Every structure is written in C-alpha cells, then in structure tokens.
Amino acid sequence: MKSTRLSYFFPIIIILLLCIGCEQKAQDSSLHEENWANRSIDISKKDSLEYGKTYLSIYSQIYSYSEHTKHNLTAMVGLRNTSDTDSIYILRASYYDTKGELVRTYFNQPIYLAPLETTEIIINESDISGGTGSNFIFEWKIPKNGVEPLFEAVMSSTMGQQGLSFTTQGKRIE
C-alpha cells in the first residue's frame, strides 16, 4: 500500500521539480531585469555636455586545462557615476562577441545615473554568446569639465569548493 502511494506521488514530485527548474531558468535570463525605460531621459535640451566612449573587456568564457576546454563565467558589469554632484548620461551600452560582432544593445535612448549611482548589466554564466573575448562599448555624456563615469566588470564562477573571480576596467577610447 505504501509503495502504491509513493508511486502515485513520485510523478507529481518530478513535475513540481521540473516547474521549479523552469522558473529558475526564466530568472536566469541574460538580460538584466532592470527596466531601462524608467531611467530614460531626453538630453536634447542639455547644454555643454561632453561626449565620451569607453571600451570594457568581458570574459563570459575562459580556457581551462587546454585550448579545447572552456569554463563559463558570470560577468557583472558596473556602470558607475563617480561624480558626487552631477548626473551623467549613458547613451548606449553595446555588447560584442569575440569576433567583434554586435550581440545586443541594452537600451536605445539615453539613461541617467544620479550622483554616485551605480547600475549593472549581468551576463549570466549560461550566456556564452560573447565567447572568450567579448567586450562592451559605452557611449556617454557628462557636464562640461565633469567627472568621467567608471565602467568595470567582475567575472566569477564556482566549481565544487573552488571559486574564480577577476576584474577588468574600462578604457576611454574617445
């Protein structure tokens, strides 16, 4: 009698576990959950803004053991306003793969960052679209003679009882 009940509940338990797993996958989307539209701003009437462009290297995969084995990483990209007085404006955040081809653009109109504010873009460990040499190009505007934004990334992963993490910082290219 007990085995009959167990065999009845076993498929239900399996279905529940699969549903939980599917829900977890939906939360693991490679696109950040932040609503970029809430940060959008019209800067066409802002005077004296200086334009800049920053390159940031990202590693969504690294080689492990040999050139034939790769290990996936989670990349946490920080977009930081380092000014304690002025808002800054990020015009575009474009993500490119190892071959330099555009993977995705995160927003299509300028967003603002308040003084000392940080926002993030997350590249999930399961998202290997960028490969071993992926990168970002950020275009931005700041008030004249203002403080430049800081773009940095932390890549991390854990395997068993070992963890791996390292950082990169953006380099102004224009």
Query: Is the separation of the CB atoms in 55 and 137 below 8 Å?
Result: yes
CA 76, chain centre distance (Å): 5
Q: Which amino acid is at 72?
A: N
Please tell me the distance from the alpha carbon of residue 54 to that of residue 58, in angstroms, as a whole number: 13
CATH 2.60.290.11 fits 31-172, yes or no: yes
Q: What is the pLDDT of residue 63?
A: 87
Query: Is the separation of the CB atoms in 171 and 55 below 8 Å?
Result: yes
- Phi and psi dihedrals of 152, rounded to 5? -145, 160
Q: Is the pLDDT of residue 23 over 70?
A: no
Q: What is the pLDDT of residue 45?
A: 85
Q: Is the pLDDT of residue 141 over 90?
A: yes
Please tell me the distance from the alpha carbon of residue 147 to that of residue 169, in angstroms, as a whole number: 16
- Across the chain, mean pLDDT equals 85
Q: What is the pLDDT of residue 46?
A: 83
pTM confidence score: 0.79
Query: Is the separation of the CB atoms in 152 and 58 below 8 Å?
Result: no
Helical H segments across the chain, by residue range: 2-27
Q: What is the pLDDT of residue 24?
A: 43
Q: What is the pLDDT of residue 68?
A: 86
Residue 44 vs residue 88, higher pLDDT = 88
Q: What is the pLDDT of residue 7?
A: 62
Residue 67 vs residue 168, higher pLDDT = 168
Please tell me the distance from the alpha carbon of residue 36 to that of residue 20, in angstroms, as a whole number: 28
